[in-house]
């Protein structure tokens, strides 16, 4: 290994994002090519030029009713007291809706108002006015009128209008070809077998699908290994065929970050580093007049960089504006700190509780894909601000339809695997409802109810004095608030250990003795409170436990930590051990209850939730996991 490479230091710029974008948009001479396509393929495509009607619609004077066509002047005498007879052929003809009105006729009388006397004669008792019940030529579309300007995205009804105007082929902007080059020695395809140090390549698929959604034509290439020659060749090939090139990873200033050097050699580097967090290590440049965007490897940074720079390029090519997201005013549940001089992009959860939108930041780690999946919105903090205080009202860009956010049941508190089942079962019954849960631990769950940030919290808090669960905590922490404690589950906590229990752990004593790697839970988690009580009972201190200070945020995380480490031990619930094929040694049975505001408990959503919990279908699902008992005929405690 050549260590010299570590000595080279490049510092990234902190260029304002808008300025970096302006430069590439000004440089890019992306003007769309036009292609003529059949209407059947045109949904969602963008018109490349104004479209004018080929024919009028209707293209003849058409009857708007089933009835008879007449000459209005010849009906003026008709009156209830003085019925008028008309002769077929000369004085009237039968017409159906859509039939052409023969010349010399200029009105239609509805069949309901016609008395048929014989095969050739009818009677009417009311005159017609000229042009009644006739759709004149061009009522809908007039030949040569402009149906759509250029830059219009075609919707289903638009396709109907085109056909009606006898346009069967429509000129649309060709989709810009965006080549995506994933690079990295550590990357493998998702179907390859995993080994430590190997990472599944998935950014490319994410990019390709965003580009598809934005109206581009993505071309996802094979993974390129981190060798300058490989990358150079891939870039030269890509600019040859594509309109825009995206190269993933290698955009920072590390030892294997070759992109910026290659770009400087083959073309021009406009920008290396933008004043944003995350997403700073972006490269913008050109080779042979084609824009090349180098995006960071971490998925969140990568996504943001793609949206900041590639989306506007695609839109410029298509000559459409970059769509703006719906925004929402929300109240911040926590203080948020931001870097001075850089824009901060923070993924947020939004809960709609007690008629208020409350937003909390998700993890800010740029490597956490699930934070994009879970985010309801994006908070953009401008460079000149240092952040916001708890309780501030801020504007958030929505990443999900508002309706979906408003209808979600916000679940907080302790993690239990049955909550996912509950969420699924609820959605099966009511497609417009879902549970959005965050795993923050029992104590934080109680606090979320107190602050009005959640509808429901799952809690299992053991009182060391009374040895009872939950009630004393709620009484103390939520005094004066109207809440309900709904008995939900009995479940078993136990030691989660590798198969065969190599350290022969049966209690905390062995943990200390063997200096096992203990996988602890976060402060405020019910399981941690239980562990602390076990320690205390044995007269042990946290310092005697190896790993006590590191925190896992869920039972599954604990099990994942135990898996693959022969010296590891965790405390958690049975299904987590089972899911990871680990051994489980029972320690204690506990009550996992649902804490709800009384308002939610009595609401439509709250009642549905209880119905689903008490349903046979849900209980059967829970039984399948094992280690649980749903409390039947639960008697809620009003506090």
Find the binding residues for its own copies in span 91-120 (CB under 8 A). 94, 96-100, 111-112, 114, 116, 119
Shortest Å, Cβ 231 to its own copies: 16
Nearer to its own copies, 206 or 637 (CB): 206
Nearer to its own copies, 133 or 450 (CB): 133
Q: Which region, judged by CB under 8 A, interacts with its own copies, from 149-157, 278-286, 348-356, 598-606?
A: 149-157
Residue showing tokens 């890509």:
238
Neighbour count for residue 412 (Cβ, 10 Å): 29
Give the footprint of its own copies on residues 375-404 (CB under 8 A): 401-403
Alpha carbon distance 534, 93 (integer Å): 97
Neighbour count for residue 365 (Cβ, 10 Å): 10
Alpha carbon distance 42, 39 (integer Å): 5
Nearer to its own copies, 164 or 545 (CB): 164
Confirm or reject binding of residue 29 to its own copies (CB under 8 A).
no
Q: Which region, judged by CB under 8 A, interacts with its own copies, from 197-205, 331-339, 459-467, 497-505?
A: 197-205
Confirm or reject binding of residue 6 to its own copies (CB under 8 A).
yes
Shortest Å, Cβ 264 to its own copies: 21
Angle at 182 between CA 321 and CA 253, to 5 degrees: 90
Shortest Å, Cβ 42 to its own copies: 9
Dihedral (Cα; 554, 556, 558, 560), 10-degree rounding:
-140
Q: Which region, judged by CB under 8 A, interacts with its own copies, from 360-368, 376-384, 483-491, 587-595?
A: 360-368
Nearer to its own copies, 157 or 479 (CB): 157
Shortest Å, Cβ 550 to its own copies: 6
Confirm or reject binding of residue 515 to its own copies (CB under 8 A).
no
Give the footprint of its own copies on residues 167-196 (CB under 8 A): 167-168, 184, 186, 190-191, 194, 196
Build a one-symbol-per-residue string for 567-596: x at contacts with its own copies by CB under 8 A, - elsewhere: ---------x--xx----------------
What tokens does 327 get? 């925004």
Alpha carbon distance 377, 355 (integer Å): 18
Confirm or reject binding of residue 543 to its own copies (CB under 8 A).
no
Nearer to its own copies, 303 or 473 (CB): 303
Give the footprint of its own copies on residues 306-345 (CB under 8 A): 315-316, 319-321, 323-324, 326
Q: Within 74-138, where are the H helices?
A: none
Instruction: Please select the residue that binds its own copies; options are 16, 83, 254, 452, rule is CB under 8 A.
Output: 254
Alpha carbon distance 100, 61 (integer Å): 6
Shortest Å, Cβ 390 to its own copies: 26
Cβ atoms 20, 274 nearer than 8 A:
yes
Sign of the CA dihedral with 380 first, then 384, 385, and 386 last: positive
Nearer to its own copies, 190 or 479 (CB): 190
Shortest Å, Cβ 420 to its own copies: 4
Confirm or reject binding of residue 161 to its own copies (CB under 8 A).
yes
Cβ atoms 70, 93 nearer than 8 A:
no
Render the burial of 152-171: b for 16+ CB within 10 Å, e for the rest.
Answer: bbbeeebbebbebbebeebb
Q: Which region, judged by CB under 8 A, interacts with its own copies, from 132-140, 493-501, 611-619, 626-634?
A: 132-140
Shortest Å, Cβ 631 to its own copies: 22
Cβ atoms 540, 512 nearer than 8 A:
yes
Nearer to its own copies, 156 or 500 (CB): 156
Neighbour count for residue 598 (Cβ, 10 Å): 15
| Sequence-distant (≥ 6) Cβ neighbours of residue 283 within 8 angstroms | 247, 251, 259, 260, 263, 269, 271, 272, 292, 293, 294
Q: Which region, judged by CB under 8 A, interacts with its own copies, from 15-23, 165-173, 269-277, 334-342?
A: 165-173
Nearer to its own copies, 312 or 494 (CB): 312
Build a one-symbol-per-residue string for 40-79: x at contacts with its own copies by CB under 8 A, - elsewhere: x--x-----xx----xxxxxx-x-x-x-------------
Angle at 443 between CA 441 and CA 449, to 5 degrees: 100
Dihedral (Cα; 378, 380, 386, 391), 10-degree rounding:
-50
Give the footprint of its own copies on residues 290-309 (CB under 8 A): 297, 299, 303
Give the footprint of its own copies on residues 519-538 (CB under 8 A): none
Shortest Å, Cβ 415 to its own copies: 9
Nearer to its own copies, 39 or 639 (CB): 39
Neighbour count for residue 65 (Cβ, 10 Å): 20
Cβ atoms 251, 281 nearer than 8 A:
yes
Parallel, antiparallel, or unpaired: how do β-strands 199-200 and 187-188 relate? parallel
Give the footprint of its own copies on residues 408-427 (CB under 8 A): 420-421, 423-424, 427
The pair phi, psi for residue 512, each rounded to 5°, is: -70, -45
Cβ atoms 136, 124 nearer than 8 A:
no
Instruction: Please select the residue that binds its own copies; options are 13, 126, 213, 222, rule is CB under 8 A.
Output: 213
**3-class DSSP string for 306-348:** HHHHHHHHHHHHHCCCCCCCCEEEEEECCCEECCCCCEEEEEE
Q: Which region, judged by CB under 8 A, interacts with its own copies, from 157-165, 383-391, 460-468, 480-488?
A: 157-165
Alpha carbon distance 257, 282 (integer Å): 11
| Sequence-distant (≥ 6) Cβ neighbours of residue 513 within 8 angstroms | none
Confirm or reject binding of residue 542 to its own copies (CB under 8 A).
no
Nearer to its own copies, 47 or 470 (CB): 47
Nearer to its own copies, 205 or 472 (CB): 205
Give whole-number Cα distances, 591 to 97, 127, 527, 554, 632, in Å: 71, 83, 12, 17, 13
**Residues constituting the chain:** 639
Confirm or reject binding of residue 550 to its own copies (CB under 8 A).
yes
- Rg over alpha carbons for the chain, rounded to the nearest Å, is 34
Nearer to its own copies, 294 or 299 (CB): 299
Shortest Å, Cβ 162 to its own copies: 8
Nearer to its own copies, 11 or 638 (CB): 11
Shortest Å, Cβ 26 to its own copies: 15
Instruction: Please select the residue that binds its own copies; options are 27, 131, 397, 544, rule is CB under 8 A.
Output: 131
Nearer to its own copies, 417 or 489 (CB): 417
């Amino acid at each position: 290994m050549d260590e010299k490479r570590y000595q080279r230091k490049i510092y990234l710029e902190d260029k304002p994002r808008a300025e970096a974008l302006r430069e590439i948009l000004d440089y890019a001479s992306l003007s769309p090519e036009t292609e003529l396509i059949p209407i059947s393929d045109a949904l969602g495509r963008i018109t490349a030029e104004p479209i004018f009607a080929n024919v009028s619609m209707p293209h003849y004077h058409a009857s708007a009713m089933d009835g008879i066509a007449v000459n209005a002047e010849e009906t003026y005498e008709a009156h209830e007291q003085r019925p008028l007879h008309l002769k077929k052929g000369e004085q009237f003809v039968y017409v159906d809706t859509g039939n052409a009105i023969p010349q010399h006729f200029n009105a239609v009388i509805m069949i309901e108002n016609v008395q048929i006397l014989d095969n050739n004669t009818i009677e009417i008792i009311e005159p017609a006015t000229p042009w009644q019940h006739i759709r004149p030529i061009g009522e809908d579309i007039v030949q040569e009128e402009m149906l759509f300007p250029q830059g219009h995205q075609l919707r289903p009804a638009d396709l109907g209008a085109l056909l009606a105007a006898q346009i069967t082929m429509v000129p649309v902007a060709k989709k810009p070809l965006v080549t995506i080059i994933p690079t990295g020695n550590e990357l493998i395809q998702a179907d390859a077998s995993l080994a430590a140090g190997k990472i599944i390549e998935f950014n490319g698929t994410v990019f390709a699908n965003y580009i598809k959604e934005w109206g581009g034509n993505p071309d996802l290439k094979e993974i390129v290994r981190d060798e300058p020659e490989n990358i150079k060749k891939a870039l030269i090939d890509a600019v040859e065929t594509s309109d825009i090139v995206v190269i993933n990873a290698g955009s920072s200033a590390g030892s294997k970050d070759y992109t910026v050097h290659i770009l400087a050699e083959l073309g021009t580097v406009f920008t290396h580093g933008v004043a944003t967090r995350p997403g700073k290590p972006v490269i913008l440049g050109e080779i042979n007049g084609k824009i090349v965007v180098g995006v960071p490897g971490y998925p969140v940074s990568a996504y943001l960089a793609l949206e900041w720079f590639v989306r506007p390029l695609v839109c410029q090519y298509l000559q459409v504006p970059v769509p703006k997201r719906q925004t929402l005013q929300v109240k911040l549940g926590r203080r948020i700190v931001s870097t001075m001089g850089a824009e901060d992009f923070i993924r947020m959860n939004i809960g709609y509780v007690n008629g208020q939108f409350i937003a909390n930041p998700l993890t800010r780690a740029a490597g956490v894909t699930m934070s994009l999946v879970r985010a309801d919105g994006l908070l953009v903090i401008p460079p000149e601000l240092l952040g916001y205080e708890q309780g501030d009202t801020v504007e958030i860009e929505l990443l999900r339809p508002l309706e979906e956010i408003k209808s979600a049941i916000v679940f907080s508190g302790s993690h239990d695997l049955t909550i996912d089942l509950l969420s699924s079962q609820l959605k099966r019954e009511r497609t417009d409802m879902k549970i959005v849960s965050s795993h923050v631990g029992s104590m934080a769950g109680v606090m979320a109810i107190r602050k009005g940030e959640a509808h429901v919290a799952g809690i299992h808090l053991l009182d060391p004095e009374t040895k009872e669960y939950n009630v004393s905590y709620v009484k103390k922490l939520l005094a004066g608030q109207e809440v309900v404690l709904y008995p939900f589950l009995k479940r078993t906590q136990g030691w989660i250990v590798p198969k065969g229990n190599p350290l022969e752990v049966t209690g905390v004593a062995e943990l200390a003795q063997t200096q096992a790697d203990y996988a602890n839970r976060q402060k405020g988690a019910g399981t941690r409170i239980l562990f602390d009580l076990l320690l205390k009972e044995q007269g042990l201190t946290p310092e005697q436990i190896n790993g006590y200070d590191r925190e896992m945020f869920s039972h599954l995380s604990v099990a994942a930590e135990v898996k693959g480490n022969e010296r590891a031990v965790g405390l958690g619930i049975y299904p987590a051990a089972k899911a990871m094929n680990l051994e489980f040694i029972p320690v204690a049975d506990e009550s996992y209850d649902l804490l709800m505001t009384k308002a939610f408990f009595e609401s439509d959503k709250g009642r549905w939730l209880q119905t689903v919990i008490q349903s046979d279908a849900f209980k059967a699902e829970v039984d399948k996991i094992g280690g649980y008992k749903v409390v039947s005929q639960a008697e809620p405690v009003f506090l």
